[in-house]
Amino acid sequence: MYQVIFKKLAVAIGFGILLVVNPTATGENSNLLDKSSKKEIDVSKISIGGIKLGMKEKEIIKKLGRPKSRTTKYDDVCYSSYITTWKYNELEIEGLSTSNNVSQSEVHLIKTSSSHHPTDKGIKVGDRIGKAQKTYSAFLSRNDTKNYLAYPNDAFGGLVFSISKQGVIREIQLLGASC
């Protein structure tokens, strides 16, 4: 159990570091953060596979049907909340709640590795990363490695594309906030 919690904590910390690190502050010349008039992305307006952050279980099931699995556990390391995970084919949704009542859990993370679950703007796994860059060009982006392209929000969350060496999207994540 602790291994799962530490793994999630490591992912959240890594995601936060990806979004916070800014080499331009140390004098390095980098395109990590575009200092133009671009704004942070509003994750509340984005969906993956028709699922939006803040949705509750009833809405998820109405949209996608019953999940392959559903688990709930208490996370006292990162969120100090109950985390419910709904798993579908190549789509994972996590919700947070202050109680063990699954119906009260609100989506805070959506992750897909399937082309069957595109963003609301039609970007999907298998697309070239340039398509996502063009689609989300109005927003600040951070890309300190060739493996990820992140469009952050002000709560250390955002829209993240995991990219193959060939420049193809392998996974898409939407996160409201990290701990």
For residue 85, is pLDDT > 70? yes
Confidence of residue 9 (pLDDT cuts 50, 70, 90): very low
| pLDDT for position 36 | 61
109, 173 Cβ separation under 8 angstroms: yes
Residue 97 clears pLDDT 90, i.e. is over it? yes
pLDDT value, residue 128 = 97
Distance separating alpha carbons of residues 143 and 7, to the nearest angstrom:
22
SS3 3: helix
In percent, the amount of the chain with pLDDT more than 90 equals 66
Residue range 110-116: average pLDDT? 97
pLDDT (average), residues 3-15: 45
In this predicted structure, the answer to whether residue 129 has a pLDDT above a threshold of 60 is yes
What type of residue is 77?
Answer: V
Residue 145 burial (CB < 10 Å; 0-12/13-18/19+)?
exposed
pLDDT in tens, 12-30: 444 554 444 433 332 333 3
